[in-house]
């Protein structure tokens, strides 16, 4: 046992001796930047800062993997964090951060999670088809799938005429604002639960996506059983192409985190979940933007636009725009070049 401890200490000492000159140089240059003396850096020093930063990150990775002295790991983590903030974080204004999020971070996260997005969409579609078939065969199943608060007067007991009226009657402008707020709050909860429950090995997220699909399918099945399938499709798609897409992406984020926890690889479960959470968190931040847009469409556009063809046109057009925004190939590394400037 003593010999093992001595071996570890020697290994840690050798690691320090081989690499600490890089850390010291980086700390010296970083101190100048932190003291507001950036102009005192020479051109060569400016160019060396990113290289020293990458070398320090490499040292930190090795230190973590080989379980070296915790004081070394803590020092390297602190140095790396300070350097990242000065090289990248502090150099971007709020406007630049917002632009980078919409032009790079958000679509990049969506592309990285495309497999989880397909699974999430498949689960929701499965639930929708199951509920649709069951409600079409027996309308009493509707009460098992659709929340009474959301259903309101839209139930199997309603007549075809009253159901049709709910699809086209305009509400007063003040009521529209209240309705939009309620729907935004409800849909946000749906997405947040689908995302947040993913840490439990994906199981709650899978169940939640299926339940959301069951509610959607039950709702569609009710109207379709009354001969209003085309009409309810337009009523849903004007906002659903954005809202349901957002919920699917939230579910994908939950599944991504759940996979990271279930299969952490060489990392600990906590580290794996933390890394996955960074990427999924970017996606979830964008989901909130989508839900806000969907809330406006649901509370205002859908109630004020009564043409089925116009509803379908707007909904399908938005779906095409979202797909192009997220999945059209692009060179993310060439975007927002200011983030590599000091």
Give domain limits for the chain: 2-91, 100-329
pLDDT in tens, 16-62: 888 888 888 888 888 888 777 666 778 788 888 888 988 888 888 88
Residue 338 pLDDT class (50, 70, 90 cuts): very low
pLDDT in tens, 248-291: 999 999 999 999 888 887 777 887 888 888 889 899 999 989 98
Residue 334 has pLDDT above 60, yes or no: no
Which tokens is 51 given?
């290289």
Reported pTM:
0.71
Q: Tell me how far apart the alpha carbons of residues 201 and 179 are, in angstroms, rounded to a whole number.
A: 35
pLDDT in tens, 85-96: 777 654 566 788
pLDDT of residue 184: 66
């Amino acid at each position: 046992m003593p010999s093992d401890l001595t071996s570890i200490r020697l290994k840690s000492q050798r690691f320090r001796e081989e690499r600490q000159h890089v850390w010291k140089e980086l700390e010296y240059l970083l101190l100048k930047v932190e003291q507001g003396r950036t102009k005192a850096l020479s051109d060569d020093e400016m160019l060396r800062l990113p290289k020293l930063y990458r070398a320090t990150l490499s040292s930190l990775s090795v230190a973590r993997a080989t379980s070296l002295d915790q004081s070394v790991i803590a020092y390297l983590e602190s140095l790396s964090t300070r350097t990242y903030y000065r090289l990248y974080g502090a150099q971007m204004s709020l406007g630049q951060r917002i632009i980078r999020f919409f032009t790079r971070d958000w679509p990049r996260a969506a592309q990285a999670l495309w497999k989880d997005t397909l699974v999430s969409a498949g689960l929701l579609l499965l639930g929708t088809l199951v509920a649709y078939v069951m409600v079409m065969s027996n309308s009493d199943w509707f009460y098992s799938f659709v929340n009474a608060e959301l259903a309101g007067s839209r139930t199997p007991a309603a007549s075809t005429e009253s159901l049709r009226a709910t699809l086209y009657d305009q509400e007063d402008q003040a009521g529209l604002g209240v309705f939009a707020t309620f729907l935004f709050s409800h849909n946000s909860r749906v997405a947040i639960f689908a995302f947040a429950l993913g840490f439990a090995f994906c199981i709650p997220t899978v169940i939640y996506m299926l339940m959301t699909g069951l509610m959607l399918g039950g709702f569609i099945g009710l109207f379709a059983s009354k001969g209003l399938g085309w009409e309810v499709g337009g009523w849903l798609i004007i906002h659903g192409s954005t809202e349901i897409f957002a919920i699917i992406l939230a579910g994908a984020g939950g599944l991504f985190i759940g996979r990271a926890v279930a299969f952490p690889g060489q990392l600990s479960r906590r580290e794996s979940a933390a890394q996955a959470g960074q990427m999924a968190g970017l996606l979830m931040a964008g989901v909130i933007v989508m839900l806000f847009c969907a809330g406006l469409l649901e509370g205002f556009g859908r109630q004020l636009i009564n043409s089925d063809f116009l509803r379908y046109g707007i909904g399908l057009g938005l779906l095409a725009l979202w797909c192009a925004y997220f999945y059209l190939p692009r060179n993310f590394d060439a975007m927002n070049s200011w983030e590599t400037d000091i």
